[in-house]
């Protein structure tokens, strides 16, 4: 099981726990985990989508793209820059409240 779900982000995405996913994204290095694949080759977004949590999967994919682009721009302008960015993950969080 540990290889199927290597991180808490994988675990919470698989279960569709949007509010916890959102909190985990506030942690340092969380953006690195977004692209981490489990033993079956799935990212947290893939696991969410496979379990029918499509809005969460879309949010994670878009978040990953946005943060990556922002981080690249900032690191080019500011050597040593690191990013911890979080925010509400949209309609899926509201549905799980």
C-beta neighbour count of 69 within 10 angstroms: 10
pLDDT digits (tens, 9 = 90+) for 20-38: 999 999 888 888 889 899 9
State residue 2's pLDDT score: 59
pTM: 0.70
Chain centre to alpha carbon of residue 32? 9
**Domain architecture of the chain: domains with CATH:** 8-95 (1.25.40)
């Amino acid at each position: 099981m540990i290889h199927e779900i290597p991180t808490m982000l994988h675990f919470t995405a698989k279960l569709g726990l949007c509010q916890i996913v959102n909190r985990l994204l506030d942690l340092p290095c969380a953006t690195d985990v977004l692209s981490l694949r489990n033993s079956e080759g799935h990212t947290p977004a893939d696991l969410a989508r496979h379990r029918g949590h499509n809005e969460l999967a879309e949010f994670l994919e878009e978040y990953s793209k946005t943060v990556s682009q922002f981080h690249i721009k900032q690191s080019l302008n500011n050597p040593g820059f690191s990013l911890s960015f979080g925010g509400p993950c949209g309609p899926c969080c509201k549905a799980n409240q």
